[in-house]
């Protein structure tokens, strides 16, 4: 299959164009080669509920697909959902061979598409650039496997590792370019999560400016139910969704928030855990969520090992002070040997800042 590797890489590049547009569906790209090996069609899943990649690629190829090869990043679906089964389109097109990067673990597919194609006499090859396909759709795969969304963590800090001065001032640590990158990130995610302390200290809006492909729900955690009577989240709850998580004992304190348009979710437990919040967001089919801070919730996320992907902006500033806030609170590790070492780390200039991006584990 090595001769088809460049075409699969192209299909993966096409698939990535759907990032932020197709979730909770996976990103998928497809290429059609005619019998002589020339590309005659390409496509990608462009939006949730719309046609899948194979349909676009085969439609572009038309009759030239007959006897050719379909190169696709994910197993073609075989069930009726928002669109007809892609296996129907593949069989109708008359391709002789289907090359797939990875099988789809979605329960209604899970090898069924591959079986249909094989049983219909198609040559089916699976596994070309599988690791790349797995990495591309890691959030989708996690949601299917665990029922929890992929968790991003973001913070901006000074060279001496502070996210605010001793007085709590944090505007602005990072520069304009870094803030632009953060808004781009927000615009392809399903939720932005902060704790009560951040709402009280910073009164954040947590919207995407300018608007991106998604409008993330603003999520705030407050076990005590003590949230400001007046703040930007509450005043804009009817325009951009807000979910406030609290406990049953304190839910009535947020009646005003509910009256202003926020959704209040109360847990029977005595506290609000990130695990419970992520489970609820997973039930809503949220695929990617972002924890923006502050130190308390980021520390809890680190201690609970729930973060999958890190976005850290380091500004060339030094503020000092033992009382100045670090990015992560919580308990932390006891020994350096227990420290989390990020995988797949990249560094990028971001104006005057440095953007560090990496993963908690290999993807």
DSSP type of residue 337: G
* Residue of 340, 80, 300 lying closest to 198 (CA atoms): 300
Q: Is 282 annotated as a binding residue?
A: no
Task: State the catalytic residue, choosing from 54, 176, 184, 309.
Answer: 54
Active site residue 270: no
Q: Is 337 annotated as a binding residue?
A: no
Q: Is 136 annotated as a binding residue?
A: no
Q: Is 324 annotated as a binding residue?
A: no
Q: Is 273 annotated as a binding residue?
A: no
Give the count of beta carbons closer than 10 Å to the beta carbon of residue 69: 21
Residue in the block written with tokens 């496997």: 145
Angle at 290 between CA 21 and CA 333, to 5 degrees: 145
Q: Is 170 annotated as a binding residue?
A: yes
Q: Is 172 annotated as a binding residue?
A: yes
Q: Is 174 annotated as a binding residue?
A: no
Q: Is 321 annotated as a binding residue?
A: no
Q: Is 178 annotated as a binding residue?
A: no
Report strand pairing: 263-267 vs 150-158.
unpaired
DSSP type of residue 250: G
Distance CA 252, CA 335 (A): 43
Report strand pairing: 242-247 vs 263-267.
parallel
Peptide bond into 24 cis (omega under 30): yes
Can you say which residues are annotated as belonging to the binding site for Zn(2+)? 52, 77, 86
Can you say which residues are annotated as belonging to the binding site for substrate? 170, 186, 206, 209, 292
Catalytic center residues? 54
Can you say which residues are annotated as belonging to the binding site for NADP(+)? 156, 172, 198, 202, 294-300
């Amino acid at each position: 299959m090595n001769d088809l590797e460049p075409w699969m890489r192209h299909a993966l590049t096409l698939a990535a164009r759907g990032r932020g547009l197709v979730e909770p569906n996976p990103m998928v790209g497809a290429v059609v080669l005619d019998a002589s090996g020339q590309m005659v069609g390409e496509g990608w899943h462009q939006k949730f509920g719309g046609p899948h990649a194979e349909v676009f690629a085969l439609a572009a190829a038309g009759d030239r697909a007959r006897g050719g090869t379909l190169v696709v990043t994910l197993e073609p679906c075989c069930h009726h959902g928002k669109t007809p089964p892609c296996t129907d389109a593949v069989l109708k097109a008359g391709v002789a061979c289907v090359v797939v990067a990875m099988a789809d673990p979605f329960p209604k597919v899970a090898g069924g598409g591959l079986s249909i194609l094989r049983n219909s006499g198609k040559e089916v090859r699976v596994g070309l650039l599988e690791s790349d396909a797995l990495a591309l759709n890691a959030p989708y795969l996690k949601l299917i496997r665990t029922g929890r969304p992929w968790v991003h963590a973001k913070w901006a800090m000074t060279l001496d590792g502070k996210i605010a001065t001793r007085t709590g001032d944090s505007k602005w640590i990072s520069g304009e370019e870094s803030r632009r990158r953060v808004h781009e990130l927000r615009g392809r995610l399903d939720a932005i999560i902060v704790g009560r302390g951040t709402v009280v200290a910073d009164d954040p809006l947590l919207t995407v400016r300018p608007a991106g492909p998604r409008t993330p729900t603003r999520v705030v955690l407050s076990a005590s139910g003590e949230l400001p009577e007046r703040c930007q989240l509450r005043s804009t709850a009817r325009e951009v969704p807000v979910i406030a998580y609290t406990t049953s004992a304190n839910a009535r304190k947020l009646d005003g928030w509910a009256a202003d348009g926020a959704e209040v979710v109360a847990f029977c437990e005595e506290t609000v855990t990130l695990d419970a919040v992520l489970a609820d967001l997973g039930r809503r089919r949220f695929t990617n969520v972002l924890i923006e801070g502050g130190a308390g919730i980021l520390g809890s996320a680190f201690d609970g090992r729930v973060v999958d992907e890190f976005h850290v902006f380091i500004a060339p500033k030094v503020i000092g002070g033992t009382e100045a806030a670090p990015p992560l609170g919580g308990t932390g590790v006891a020994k350096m040997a227990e420290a989390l070492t990020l995988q797949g780390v990249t560094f990028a200039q971001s104006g005057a800042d440095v953007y560090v991006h990496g993963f908690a584990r290999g993807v």
